[in-house]
Structure 1
Amino acid sequence: MNDIIMWLIALWTFVMLGLLIIGGYFMFRKFLKRMPKEDGYSELDWQDLYIERALPLWNEEARKLLNELVTPVPEIFRDVAKERIAGRISKIALDEGADDITLDHIMKGYIIATPKRDHKFMKKKLDELQIDYAPYEDLFQYADDEKQKFSIFEQTEKISSRSK
């Protein structure tokens, strides 16, 4: 009986250690995103600033669409994903001097803010909502992946200079 208890304790130790390592990894990534860059602001500071500035541009229909687009994301990460996508959409709309957030802005921001590994799920969701993403196919190359990380500035500069 003592041997079983000792094995359970050892197993529980490894499980807890693994969970702590995984949690620490995600906390460290968040910490790095909060680190100020050369201009004194972090990537998340800029994201929050763009969202705040573009808040009057968001209509109810755009908010509903954004909420619908992030439903494939696991609920625990959904708020972070929504903020990231909303930050990209807001920056694009502000750069274009838009009066409202349109489907065009949402599509551009949604595509570049979604990591490449999730494009299969994203396309499935867009098909489900009957939204044609063919005009935006060239933007899929600007999405973040594990090898190359784009900042909020690089991505929107690249899409604003793309041929229409």
Structure 2
Amino acid sequence: MTVPAWLEWFYLFFWIVFLLFLAIGGYFMFRKFLKALPKEDGKSILDWQEYYINQTLHLWSDEQKALLNELVEPVPKLFRDVAKQKIAGKIGELVFHEQAEKLTEEHIVKGYILATPKRDHKWLIKTLQKKQIDLSAYQHLFQ
């Protein structure tokens, strides 16, 4: 009994798509695994991120949380929480190292710029201009 040609092509297509999805999933799992590996100091990138968030959590007001939510709006919903946590960790790191008593809009903007890839900066610039926030102090971070 022979298998129809269209079924053979379907099997081939199925296995190619299956292996492609497996590779994509493996790539993202491997990236997460690398971030969870401890560095020289014994803590991973994710451990430090969580540490900075916990140390500065009491400084966040509802208005500042709303600004962060607005800034991460273009991120797809599936990845939004991870992006928000990464950005909040970077903001927390800035505030922690400055030993600031209060979290400011400047910390949020600076942390967002430092935590995100350059391709996201275009949307950030548009959003900040719409909110009438002066970007001259942050130009060196966009380079």
Question: TM over 0.5, yes or no?
Answer: yes
Distance across 2 between alignment mates of 1:9 and 1:87: 45
Distance across 1 between alignment mates of 2:131 and 2:18: 41
Distance across 1 between alignment mates of 2:71 and 2:133: 11
Q: How does 1:72-83 map to 2 (within 5 A)?
A: 72-83=74-85
Instruction: Tell me the equivalent position of 1:62.
Output: 64
Structure 2: unaligned runs, 5 residues or longer: none
Q: Residue 79 of structure 1 aligns to a residue in which SS?
A: helix
Question: Is contact 1:59-1:100 (8 Å) kept?
Answer: no
Aligned partner (choices 116, 132, 135) of residue 134 of structure 2: 132
Distance across 1 between alignment mates of 2:78 and 2:123: 17
**Percent sequence identity over aligned pairs:** 55
Task: Read off the aligned partner of 1:121 and give its amino acid letter.
Answer: W
Larger Rg: 2
Aligned partner (choices 111, 122, 125) of residue 124 of structure 2: 122
Instruction: Tell me the equivalent position of 2:35.
Output: 33
Q: How much does 1:59 deviate?
A: 0.7
Q: Residue 142 of structure 2 aligns to a residue in which SS?
A: helix
Of 119-128 and 88-97, more deviation after overlay is shown by: 119-128
Distance across 2 between alignment mates of 1:134 and 1:41: 35
Scaled by the length of structure 2, the TM-score of the pair is: 0.92
Q: How much does 1:19 deviate?
A: 0.8
Q: How much does 1:118 deviate?
A: 2.0
Distance across 1 between alignment mates of 2:134 and 2:44: 34
Distance across 1 between alignment mates of 2:83 and 2:75: 8
The total of aligned residue pairs comes to: 141
Q: How much does 1:122 deviate?
A: 2.2
Structure 1: unaligned runs, 5 residues or longer: 142-164
Q: How much does 1:97 deviate?
A: 2.0
Question: Is contact 1:62-1:103 (8 Å) kept?
Answer: yes
Q: CA RMSD in A?
A: 1.4
